[in-house]
Structure 1
């Protein structure tokens, strides 16, 4: 567990992220030009499983296990309305039920924007009770994103306003220069995939237990955190993946994890 550096950045930022959610709901990062996809064949094929304002794309070949959740509402700069909220809810539920998922990359297909926050044009047509219900549903959706059992990486190349920033803060890692990594304009998606690939090479059971240990450990004192870590490690002791990892290390080869 302690050797899982890709998730440690969350523990450093976690305490301040909650403060940002409550006191600074609006933030903007420097807009970047559209990403030039230079990773070519190394990325493998993409299989699209959901369409609409929120898409799910499963990467294949060597990137199997990486899922991209893409925001795609260009006419409204990815502003979150009722349809997009339903899309987020469905996508998160689909990913949560997907045992093949190892890591999720949350990104925008719209140049120069991550998410413009709530759709204010649509909100004007809502009653006060409808607005409250929508806000509660949105917060619940972000909580579901945060509660996913696999690591999540947000790609923020452009504006992240209001609920868009909250969505980014609900992810474990953020790539934009804002929090976990600082990269040149146009490089955020590439860096996020590098991080996702690094995580994806680890055992899927260990990935889930690492995130669970970190989440529990952040909320309690050190002795209790170590107990939580030990509890998670105990769940891995009798797995085939642990034995495969040890064998691969001894034989100086790449492990082949089965999630068992």
Structure 2
């Protein structure tokens, strides 16, 4: 077997998942989608992992899109299956019980933007470009782009990006709410590492409850979302982390959360 298209490295409670196809600008082919799906399932199941950072190898691209050379010869059913596998990966990331940070270094186009939008936080370098250029190939976004972009940036921006197919700057993406923060290229690693460290020190059960409440609430009516949030809020009172957090506040010290 050849080298895996995905590199996994741990630093304490932080797992870094790197797509390593720099010669293809980290384009998503079937093998890479399968490897990423496995990597995220493993991260979710590993109790030593508290936060995940996702990025692409090399300075040019986070992920420049789906692998067009692989897609070119697909028929209708093959294309449908490829899209569904991509959607399943994005859903796995979106519903992960641990925070996922997208470190966007360069191009995040098509499937790359869809991958970034499935993550919980997105930090981009100031030279990054994002977009949904599928229209230029006679296609539409197939990994959830029309739906997640709509929820992040609204109808007008979604139609602009999807209908025109032109990439936008990181600064514009920040204005539209597509990314959370834009930093200088040489500050990207330090900023992502600081956020990952902050999250790795936070209460894991509370992080999970927040993620689940936000995802659930985004897909249901307000009343149901409030009920779900209330139930999660109540459950936190049964955790050792809640006792530790409140005690640390009273005692004016930093809490040490155990995930119990």
Q: Give the TM-score of the pair, scaled to structure 1.
A: 0.74
SS in 2 for 1:182: strand
Instruction: Output aligned runs, 1:109-124, within 5 Å.
Output: 109-124=57-72
SS in 2 for 1:175: strand
Structure 1 residues 81 and 219, CA gap change in structure 2 (3 angstroms): closer
Is there any run of 5+ residues in structure 2 with no aligned partner, and where? 125-169, 174-178
Q: Do the aligned partners of 2:95 and 2:215 also contact (CA within 8 Å) in 1?
A: no
The whole-number CA distance in structure 1 between the counterparts of 2:190 and 2:226 is 34
Q: Deviations over 1:139-196 (max 9, x none)?
A: 1111111111111111111011110110001111111143211211232232222222
The whole-number CA distance in structure 1 between the counterparts of 2:253 and 2:109 is 45
Q: Deviations over 1:42-79 (max 9, x none)?
A: xxxxxxxxx7211221112xxxx221111111121101
Alignment correspondent of 2:77: 129
Query: Deviation above 6 Å: which 4+ runs of structure 1?
Result: none
The whole-number CA distance in structure 2 between the counterparts of 1:227 and 1:188 is 38
Structure 1 residues 111 and 209, CA gap change in structure 2 (3 angstroms): same
Alignment correspondent of 1:77: 25
Instruction: Output aligned runs, 1:44-55, within 5 Å.
Output: 52-55=4-7
Alignment correspondent of 1:57: 9
The whole-number CA distance in structure 1 between the counterparts of 2:105 and 2:86 is 22
Q: Deviations over 1:115-148 (max 9, x none)?
A: 1111111223434322221111111111111111
Q: What displacement does 1:222 show?
A: 4.3
* Pairwise CA RMSD: 1.8
Is there any run of 5+ residues in structure 1 with no aligned partner, and where? 1-50
SS in 1 for 2:244: helix
1:98 aligns with 2:52: no
The whole-number CA distance in structure 2 between the counterparts of 1:199 and 1:249 is 18
Q: Give the TM-score of the pair, scaled to structure 2.
A: 0.74
Alignment correspondent of 1:248: 248
Q: Do the aligned partners of 2:201 and 2:256 also contact (CA within 8 Å) in 1?
A: no
Instruction: Output aligned runs, 1:96-245, within 5 Å.
Output: 96-176=44-124, 177=170, 178=173, 179-245=179-245
Q: Do the aligned partners of 2:95 and 2:212 also contact (CA within 8 Å) in 1?
A: no
Q: Do the aligned partners of 1:153 and 1:174 also contact (CA within 8 Å) in 2?
A: yes
Q: Which has the higher contact order (CA 8 A, sep 6+)?
A: 1
Q: Do the aligned partners of 1:55 and 1:91 also contact (CA within 8 Å) in 2?
A: no
Q: What displacement does 1:227 show?
A: 2.3
The whole-number CA distance in structure 1 between the counterparts of 2:251 and 2:195 is 26
